[in-house]
Amino acid sequence: MRLLSYMGQWKSAAKEVLDRTAIVAKFLCLLHVTNNYLCSPTLVYGPSMLPTLNLTGDVVLAEHVSHRIGKVGTGDVVLVRSPVDPRRILTKRVVGMEGDTVSFYVDPMYSQTTVVPKGHVWIQGDNTYASSDSRHFGSVPYGLIQGKVFFRVWPPDGFGTLEQ
Amino acid sequence: MRLLSYMGQWKSAAKEVLDRTAIVAKFLCLLHVTNNYLCSPTLVYGPSMLPTLNLTGDVVLAEHVSHRIGKVGTGDVVLVRSPVDPRRILTKRVVGMEGDTVSFYVDPMYSQTTVVPKGHVWIQGDNTYASSDSRHFGSVPYGLIQGKVFFRESNELRITRF
């Protein structure tokens, strides 16, 4: 008899655990969809976007709508999956779209000009002295763009839209 | 009085609509996450993968786990976002990984050899005569791979595996 009552209690406890897990799972699902398709806070760090973004790390809001509808253009700061290491995501500025002619300095004396091919973009860090970007690995396919940065949340004195 | 009763009915009907919409939304959410991160059925068509895949269209199952953990290798049929048109997804076979040396014919007399750079893959369609692939637009960054095809659902009684 006791065994039956224990089993009954255990069953109801298990059901409650399952219900709560389902709620948490649905919430994580929704959070994930929002992060990937609408807007997500991202920690970006490194010297390649000084002075726009800090060296030690900024929390920025990136929206993931524009690149899917083709609204990324010159001057935008974008999150791009690295063509050299597919597990890293870079933060750079789009300097040229497909068809644009881009000039850049390989060393202080010698400048080179290229045309950005179809379906590609040319990205550069604002801090050209400490940035590994399209000047090193060439034009990047548009399909590697993950999102567009439009707002900075942290640190508090940098709160607001990014300067051009 | 009638107005109050109408409003009460309307409120409960609206609540029921909202509940049902919420259930449908959660289901679509789950379906979408499964399609993007686990496995999804995809319709692929075109002549570039003959005779492996049909010209008029095949429904294949593509899994989206391997490329995130780096388990895509030579010989795999993969879904790749086109480097020329970011809205198109191609189905090609991986012929070379980063560091491999790849030889291909630009025309029947002249063959060229390239080394696949770091972080890139070399993709080719099985039907080399009617395929626009890495021989035309070069190595493709690994980050453009969307999934790996592993199964084809066919009308024949026997299901073919790759």
Nearest CA to CA, how far is A29 from chain B (Å)? 7
pLDDT tens per residue, range B89-127: 999 999 999 999 999 887 778 888 999 999 999 999 999
- Contact A143/B83 with Cβ under 8 angstroms? yes
pLDDT at position A61 over 60:
yes
Residue A36 confidence (pLDDT): 83
**CA nearest neighbour of B80 among B38, B135, B21, B121:** B121
Three-class secondary structure assignment of B39-84: EEEEEECCCCCCCCCCCCCEEEEEECCHHHCCCCCCCCEEEEECCC
Which of B85, B123, B146 would best serve as a mutation to test chain A binding (most A beta carbons within 10 A)?
A: B85
* Greater model confidence, B110 or A93: A93
The pTM of the full predicted model, rounded to 2 decimals, is 0.81
Calpha distance A13→A18 (Å, rounded): 9
- Contact B113/B103 with Cβ under 8 angstroms? yes
Global ipTM: 0.77
pLDDT at position A74 over 90:
yes
pLDDT tens per residue, range A6-38: 888 889 899 999 999 988 988 888 888 888 888
SS3 A1: coil
pLDDT at position A5 over 50:
yes
A82 close to B (CB below 8 A) = yes
Average the pLDDT over each of A53-57, B8-12, B150-154 and give the range with the smallest value. B150-154
Band of residue A164 on the pLDDT scale cut at 50, 70, 90: low
pLDDT at position B5 over 90:
no
Band of residue A109 on the pLDDT scale cut at 50, 70, 90: confident
pLDDT at position A155 over 60:
yes
Residue A122 confidence (pLDDT): 95
φ, ψ of residue B161 to 5 degrees: the values are -115, 155
pLDDT at position A1 over 80:
no
Span A126-151, mean pLDDT? Answer: 92
Span A54-81, mean pLDDT? Answer: 91
Share of residues in chain A with pLDDT > 70 (%)? 99
Which of B29, B31, B139 would best serve as a mutation to test chain A binding (most A beta carbons within 10 A)?
A: B29
Residue B161 confidence (pLDDT): 56
| For B143, nearest residue in chain A (alpha carbons) | A86
Calpha distance B148→B60 (Å, rounded): 10
Active site positions of B, annotated: 48, 92
Identify each DSSP E strand in chain B by its residue range: 39-44, 58-63, 77-81, 89-96, 101-107, 110-115, 120-124, 140-141, 145-153
Q: What is the largest CA-CA distance in chain B?
A: 91
Residue B108 confidence (pLDDT): 79
Residue B158 confidence (pLDDT): 43
Instruction: Inspect the interface and report whether the beta carbons of A143 and B82 lie closer than 8 Å.
Output: yes
Instruction: Inspect the interface and report whether the beta carbons of B33 and A30 lie closer than 8 Å.
Output: no
- Contact A74/A160 with Cβ under 8 angstroms? no
Residue B105 confidence (pLDDT): 85
The beta-carbon neighbor of A33 closest among B32, B82, B84 is B32
Residue B151 confidence (pLDDT): 83
pLDDT tens per residue, range B16-45: 999 999 889 888 888 888 888 888 988 988
Residue B154 confidence (pLDDT): 62
B136 close to A (CB below 8 A) = no
pLDDT tens per residue, range B125-156: 999 888 999 999 999 999 999 999 988 766 55
Residue A149 confidence (pLDDT): 93
A118 close to B (CB below 8 A) = yes
Nearest CA to CA, how far is A70 from chain B (Å)? 9
Instruction: Inspect the interface and report whether the beta carbons of A141 and B83 lie closer than 8 Å.
Output: yes
Q: What rounded mean pLDDT belongs to chain A?
A: 89
Residue B162 confidence (pLDDT): 58
- Contact B78/B123 with Cβ under 8 angstroms? yes
Q: What rounded mean pLDDT belongs to chain B?
A: 87
